[in-house]
Structure 1
Amino acid sequence: MTNHAALRTIARQPRVFLTLLLVLCVPIPPALAQEPSAREEPSAQEEPSAQEEPSAQEEPSAQQEPSAQQEPSAGEGQATEAQLATINDSIGQIETWLQQARSQRSSEEAALSELNQRIDAISENIADNQQNIARLDAELGSLNQQQDTLLADTEAQREIVARALRASYISGGSSQLQLLLTQQDPSTAQRMLVYFNAFNEDRLQQIRRFQQTLSALAQTRDEIDQAQLTLAATNAALATQREELESNQQARTRLIASLNADMATRRNELEQLLADRAHLQELIDEINRIIVDIPSPEDAMPFADARGQLPWPVTGDVLARFGERFGGSLQRQGIIIGADAGNTVRAVHNGRVVFADWLRGSGNLIVIDHGNSFISLYAHVQDFTKSTGDWVNRGEALALSGADAGNGSPGLYFEIRQSSRTLDPQDWLTPGD
């Protein structure tokens, strides 16, 4: 691979540019570090701004091909190594999350299985109680029939006794005396009297037995009624408990389905990161194979020594400062410099353009590697004048300021980073410029 082709490889890898953003522009999304049960996708507020797709006027200008004498810089290799480290860290976080999610899913599935068993047991109890209620209903019906029969017999016996009593009353209570006087044989008369009394006593005993049976039937019916009420109340309580368990069952089923969906999404992310890691490793190997150290001009000041002496990338007032909170709990990683759209954006120090393209959340973005892990970022610009791989000098034009710097106002979003650590740009820019 020629040096020229190596630079084109770096410039044309969208996955490399995307992962470069993780290192250069945005911290790792908080969602990767959240617990599985409370995970939320990052909202649009977590990005530097909600950029629309660039219009035809915002397309980068014709890219300049690097000369054949240019070689990949050590900074490019360091940036790619940093990307690889970031991807490895993201892979580790996703694998940890997946392990926790699998453990949580196992716990939820075990709890769901227990709920299913409890629901089945309650359903069986309800079915048994329904059968008992039906049996008691049948017994109660039979008792009611017996009661009706006994009541009819009792009424008949009462009527017979009542007639006998009325006849005795009408005759003035002399029936027994007449029975004795009309008989010539005293033994016969005595026997007839015994028969008469036995007949009446038998009727009275039968009535008393009917009454006792009716009393027992009434007591049994009351017991059956109470048993039915108890079973009905038990069934109502069991039905309520079953509804609660079924509601819990549905909630756990939804949670397991959500976990499965989240795990599928994370597995896809993991597969993508693994593919990105493999690609980056190939790119690192290629860069390490062809990389050469290109000395900076002898009079060039190291970036670390330029603290407080860098020129401003565009003339204007600071509209948003480093570290300010926005979008809730997010902290700004750079500054927003207010400027009319179309003002010239210039490099703050010597270096090499390692990225010049549109990127979601940052619009048109330029990243310059200044060596020793220092980089500067210029976001939401338009009309690039430099391309990936170009060398730039301090104060050299890079692009024009855009109509929206990420806060709805025209200007430039600007960052300075050392490795993956963000620095306050105002500590590095010349005061008062």
Structure 2
Amino acid sequence: MTLFFSSSALAAQNQERAEQELQQLKQVISQLQKRLAENRSQQSDTEKAIQAIDVKLSAVSKELRDTQSKITQNKNQLNKLQKQKTEKNILKEQQRKQLSSQLRSAYIAGQEEYIKLLLNQEDPAKISRMLQYYRYLNEARIRDIEALQKTLQELQQVEQQINSKTLELTELETKQKQQVEQQLSLKSQQTDALKQLKQEYQNQNTRLAQLRKDEQELQSIISSLQQTLEEFAPKQSLKGLAKHKNKLNWPVKGSVEHRFGSNKFENKVKWNGIVINASSGQSVQSIYNGQVVFADWLRGFGLMVIIDHGQGYLSLYGQNESLLKSTGDWVEAGEPVATVGRSGGSSEPGLYFEIRYKGKPQNPLSWIK
């Protein structure tokens, strides 16, 4: 009992500590978001429009994903119900035939044999056996009738469930159609806004200054997160990525468009990560288990997810169409955390992916297999 209560107390302490760490992390995120909001107030109208469209598109895309998942579940449930209905109908016919055969035999025999037994005054022992036999037959018919009634009731329930699921599926498909139309409209608005932004960036000095500002903002966020994470790092169970070099799976399937360290703009800004070409809506998966420490829109990087893997290792996933996780969520390796998009001003859909160790960018291609 002492061991049990000690274990319970330890579990409670760990739970309380984890909640305190999460609250501390959320306070830092809240401060970061306030700072980001101040920075966003200095954005151009086009940049503000892109952010608004990206955020709306994220919400619609996530809702569409949920709707599609529910449609798939409903179709699977309908298939199971239809199978049950077929099985119940087969059972019903079998029970009807069996009962019909019994009733037909009883009708043909009628009460003649029973009356004959009494009138002929046959052997009392034989009469007793025959009466018992008729009683058994009658009980069997009653059981068969009850079984048929139960089957008919179950069949009625299944048919009601089928009608309900069919109606629900119709409503979901209507909702899906509306969401697809809304998504297409937002993507069209996104394209128009990107064209406008491209015109505004024709001045190379303006573009260079903007890129450097975006990088500084991201670095500032990572530094703040890193400092906070280091405060409770000893309490974490996360072991980092050091033992998994060249062993991690790709966050998304696709070809590499931009490589780590290659020229990003005028040989004055380099890529701190890689850009992987992928189709809009593809699942972006966590490369390893960890905790989401940032999930928000960031200028120049769009909808961004940052995952802490412990021991100073972070993985970053940007340009997403929608975010599937929130700050504080724990994720496993291979778990979807976002969907591919072109948020943040990217002209083509794809994933911007980084790995950082103690705030410094690492070549992701040296880590993934």
TM bracket, shorter-chain basis: 0.3 to 0.5
Higher relative contact order (CA 8 A, sep 6+): 1
TM (norm. structure 2) is 0.43
User: Normalized against structure 1, the TM-score is what?
Assistant: 0.37
Relative to its length, the structure with more helix (as a share) is 2
Q: Computing the radius of gyration over CA atoms, which structure comes out larger, 1 or 2?
A: 1
